[in-house]
Amino acid sequence: MSTGEKYLAGAYAVLLVVVLAYVAIIALKLQRMERDLSELAELARRRREEAAA
């Protein structure tokens, strides 16, 4: 692999890594929101049961 090809691969790798990191961060945020929503749904269910009782 020539020097030019190494730098070329490096530039494209940087783009790939940054995009993948961004997607991974979004995926982690979505997981957190899913957890939060589950907690809130559980909280709302308990409130409804308490109100009915």
Q: Is 20 in the site for another protein (CB under 8 A)?
A: no
Q: What is the CA angle 42-46-52, rounded to 5?
A: 145
Q: Which of residues 11 and 53 has its CB atom nearest to another protein in the complex?
A: 11
Residue from 20, 24, 30, 31 binding another protein (CB under 8 A): 30
**CA–CA distance, 53 with 51 (Å, rounded to integer):** 6
- Quickly tell me which residue has 């783009």 as its tokens: 15
The encoded tokens of residue 13 equal 């790798």
Chain residues that interact with another protein, rule: CB under 8 A: 2-5, 7-8, 10-12, 14-15, 18-19, 22, 26, 29-30, 33, 36-37, 40, 43-44, 47
